[in-house]
Amino acid sequence: MNAELDRAAKVTARKQYLAGGVNAAASEMASLERASVLAAVVGDKAASDGYQTQFREPQNRIQNALAELRQLSRKSESGSALERVEQQAGLVIQAQEELRQAMANQQLDSALNIFGQKLQPRLAGIAREASSLVDEQNRELAAATEASAGTAARTRNITIGLAALALVAALFIFWMVRGANVGLQHLAARLSGSAERVASAAGQVSGASCSLAQGASEQAASLEETSASTEEISSITRKNADNALQVAGLMQQTEAGAGEVNQTLDRMVEKMKEIDGSSNKIARIIKMKLAF
């Protein structure tokens, strides 16, 4: 819709304005040529030349307007009123040149015939085709306006439909949000109760932690005492081990001494046996001597 409105405002309206300008310029050219011919007929050459000079200005306006109309027109518009205006404008230039030469040669009857039979009808044709072109642009504007009105109506209906849909969606979202808020309130209440229970449990855990800390401190003190006792026992054990080693050495020495004593005793027993044998021999000898 925006593209159509933009074309209607910038193109169609401009073409209508240019076509109206072509129509006015054609009427002005016809008036100036008529005045120029009449001035030549009455013998006022200066006035006739002045009208001829003024004739070029509307003629240039027509040429410029036709060139701009051609730029604004679509290719599909060939064979339209614009081409007919362009053809008539070309014929007007030819007729005007013939009229100028006839007037320069003082052929006034020929000049009147050229004006009445060629120039004026072609200028009238330009005005007629320009009016047709204006009507054509009016129809395009009316069609664009109607299309814009239809598009606006459709847009309005679509907007109303979208607004209704948005309202329904908003109500649905409101209902969903409200339900979600109720659920969140219940959840918040449950979370609050859970938080209170967690806080109570945390207090109990804190108390237990304090008790455990106190017990750990007591156990640490007991461990320190046990460690000291263990060190003392280890010292005593080391001393006992040293003493045991000394006792073992003494026992080895005692065993060695006992072995030597046993050997000495064995030797004494043997000596005593020898002495006893010798004593027996001596006793027998004494007995024998006593017997003699």
Instruction: Write out pLDDT tens, residues 219-261.
Output: 666 656 766 766 776 777 777 677 767 766 776 776 776 677 6
Extended beta strands in the chain, E state? none
Distance separating alpha carbons of residues 118 and 8, to the nearest angstrom: 36
What is the mean predicted confidence (pLDDT) over 1-20? 65
* The pLDDT value given to residue 187: 67
* The pLDDT value given to residue 273: 79
**Quick one: 25 exposed, middle or buried, by C-beta within 10 A (0-12, 13-18, 19+)?**
buried
Question: What would you measure as the largest C-alpha separation in the chain, in angstroms?
Answer: 239
What is the model's pTM? 0.44
**Quick one: 141 exposed, middle or buried, by C-beta within 10 A (0-12, 13-18, 19+)?**
middle
Q: Which of 44-53, 144-153, 159-168 is least confident?
A: 144-153
* The pLDDT value given to residue 1: 46
Q: Where are the domains of the chain?
A: 2-168, 236-292
What is the mean predicted confidence (pLDDT) over 182-208? 67
205-215 tens-digit pLDDT? 566 656 655 76
Mean per-residue pLDDT over the chain, rounded: 75
pLDDT at 48 over 70: yes
What is the mean predicted confidence (pLDDT) over 267-287? 76
Spatial contact of 20 and 129, defined as CB atoms under 8 Å apart: no
Spatial contact of 96 and 33, defined as CB atoms under 8 Å apart: yes
pLDDT at 104 over 50: yes
pLDDT at 195 over 70: no
Higher pLDDT, 218 or 198: 218
Give the DSSP letter of residue 119.
Answer: I
Spatial contact of 123 and 30, defined as CB atoms under 8 Å apart: yes
Distance separating alpha carbons of residues 194 and 188, to the nearest angstrom: 10
**Cα dihedral: 210, 213, 219, 220 (round 10):** -150
* The pLDDT value given to residue 147: 64
pLDDT at 200 over 80: no
What is the mean predicted confidence (pLDDT) over 93-116? 86
* Cα 3 from chain centre: 31
**Is 1 strand, coil or helix?**
coil
Give the tokens for residue 89: 């404008």
* The pLDDT value given to residue 214: 72
Angle between helices 81-104 and 45-72 (to 10 degrees): 160
CATH architecture designation of domain 2-168: Up-down Bundle (1.20)
pLDDT at 89 over 50: yes
**Quick one: 4 exposed, middle or buried, by C-beta within 10 A (0-12, 13-18, 19+)?**
middle
Q: Which residues contact 86 (CB under 8 A, 6 or more apart)?
A: 66, 70
Give the tokens for residue 22: 């072509």
What is the mean predicted confidence (pLDDT) over 172-189? 71
Give residue 78's pLDDT band: very low, low, confident or very high (50, 70, 90): very low
What is the mean predicted confidence (pLDDT) over 115-141? 80
* The pLDDT value given to residue 142: 67
pLDDT at 25 over 70: yes
pLDDT at 60 over 70: yes
pLDDT at 34 over 60: yes
What is the mean predicted confidence (pLDDT) over 114-135? 83
**Is 79 strand, coil or helix?**
coil
